Structure 1
Amino acid sequence: MAINRSDVLTSAIGVLDRSGLPDLTMRRVAADLGVAPGALYWHIPNKQSLLAGIADTILADPSLAAAASKSRMRWDRQLTGYAHALRSVLRKHRDGAEVVSASLASQLGTSNLQSQIAEIAVSAGAGAADANAVALALTHFVVGFTFEEQTREAMTLAGAAAGELDRTATDRAFAGGVDLIVDGLRARVAAPA
C-alpha cells in the first residue's frame, strides 16, 4: 500500500483521538495504516516531527483561520474570538493541547499560531514588541489552560480525580483570563508613548 505524509498524519490523529498521546507511537500509526513502521520514516523522520505535523494539522482548522482573518470586527472582539476558537480547536482532539504544547516547545511547527495573534494586536495599534508579548501570553494561556482542562478530564475518566469538572466555572475562568490579556493590551495601546 502506498502512503503519503497526509495519510500518516490523518492516521496519527485518529490514533491520538482514540487512544491518547501516551499510546501514540509510530508502530501504532503504522499498524493503523497496515504498513511496516519503517514505511512511516519516508514521510515523518521521528516522533517529534510527527507531533509537529499533527499540531499543524489541528491548527489548520478552518474555524481558527476564520477567527484570524482580517474582518471589520473590532480588534478586541477578534482577539477574544480567536482565543475561544483556539480552545475549541484544541478540545476537538484528545490531548490536543498537549500535542500543540510539545510542538511549540520543539519549535518544529505551529509558527503561524503566534503570528496570527500578533497581527491582531498590531491592528489594535500595538508595536512589534507588545504584539509579540501578547501573542506569547495568549498562546501560553490558551494552550496551558486547555492542557490542564484536558488532563483533568482524563484523570476524572480514569478515576484519579475527585469529582467532575465544573464546565460553567471553567468556561468563566477561561473567559476571565482572556479578558485580562485583552484589557492589558487595550491599556498598553491607550497609554501615551
Structure 2
Amino acid sequence: MSRTREDLVAVALRLLDAHGLADVSMRRVAGELDLQPSALYHHVASKQELLGAVADEVLRRGARPRGAVTWDERVVEVAHELRDAMLAYRDGAELVSTVIAFGLGATQPLEDLTAALGDSGLDESLVPTAARTVLHLVLGHTIEEQTHLQAGSAGAIDADPLPADFGTGLGFVVDGIRARVAEGSTAM
C-alpha cells in the first residue's frame, strides 16, 4: 500500500498526542504504518523534517477565523490562537518551540505577529524584536502551563493549577509596545 507524507504526519501527530514528543520516532511511525523505517525517507529527509511538518499541522488545525481589526487586537488574537493550538496536543508547545528554534517550520505565527506589528506605527527596525518577544511569551508560558498540567496528571507534582495569567502577561507586553509607539519608538 502506498503511503503519503500526509499519512506520516497524521501518524506522528497521533503518536505525539498519545505518548508525547519523546516517543515520536521514525521507527515508531514506520511501525504504525507497517513499513520499514527506510521507506519514510521517500517522504521526509529526516526526523526533524517530519517534526516540522507535524508542528505545521498542529498550527493548521488550530487556525480559526480571525476578525480583529487593530494591530493590538490582531497580536492578541494570533497569540491566543497559537497558545490554544499548542495546548490541543500533548507536548504541543515543546514541539512547536523546538521546531521554531531549529528553523524547521512553524513560521506562520511569527509572520502573522510581524504583519500585525508592522501596522502598529512601531519603528520598522523594532518590529521583528517585538514580534519575537510576543512569540517567546506565548511559547514560554504555554510550555510551562502544559508541563505543569502533564506533571500534575501523572502525579509527579501537586496538581494545583497555575494562575490563569496568560492574557494579563500578554497585555503587559502589548501595553509596552503601545507605549513605545506613543513615544515615537525611539527610546531604548
Question: Is the shorter-chain TM-score for this pair beyond 0.5, marking a shared fold?
Answer: yes
Structure 1 residue 152 corresponds to structure 2 residue 148: yes
Q: Which residue in the other structure is 1:47 paired with? A: 47
Contact 2:114 2:128 in 1 (8 A): yes
Partner residue of 1:190 out of 175, 182, 185: 182
Contact 1:98 1:147 in 2 (8 A): yes
After superposition, where does 1:99-114 map in structure 2 within 5 Å? 99-114=95-110
Residue 129 of structure 1: how far off its partner (Å): 2.2
Q: SS state of the match for residue 3, structure 2? A: coil
Cα distance in 2 for partners of 1:6, 1:37 equals 16
Q: Which amino acid aligns with 2:35?
A: V
Partner residue of 1:177 out of 169, 172, 177: 169
Q: Which residue in the other structure is 2:111 paired with? A: 115
**Pairwise CA RMSD:** 1.6
Q: Give the gaps of 5 or more residues in structure 1.
A: none
In structure 2, relative to structure 1, the CA distance for the partners of 1:93 and 1:106 (3 Å cut) is same
Q: Which amino acid aligns with 2:153?
A: L
In structure 2, relative to structure 1, the CA distance for the partners of 1:18 and 1:133 (3 Å cut) is same
After superposition, where does 1:30-179 map in structure 2 within 5 Å? 30-61=30-61, 63-64=63-64, 66-67=65-66, 73-166=69-162, 169-170=163-164, 173-179=165-171
Contact 2:17 2:90 in 1 (8 A): yes
In structure 2, relative to structure 1, the CA distance for the partners of 1:72 and 1:141 (3 Å cut) is closer
What is the identity percentage for the equivalent residue pairs of Structure 1 and Structure 2?
Answer: 36
- Give the structure with the larger helix fraction: 1
Give me the TM-score of the superposition, normalised by structure 1: 0.89
Give me the TM-score of the superposition, normalised by structure 2: 0.91
Cα offsets for 1:2-61 (capped at 9, x unmatched): 111111111110111111111111111112212111111111122211111111111223
In structure 2, relative to structure 1, the CA distance for the partners of 1:8 and 1:104 (3 Å cut) is same
Q: Which residue in the other structure is 1:11 paired with? A: 11
What is the number of residues matched between the two proteins? 185
Residue 62 of structure 1: how far off its partner (Å): 5.8
Cα distance in 2 for partners of 1:118, 1:97 equals 20
Q: SS state of the match for residue 141, structure 2? A: helix
Q: SS state of the match for residue 35, structure 1? A: coil
Cα distance in 2 for partners of 1:127, 1:38 equals 49
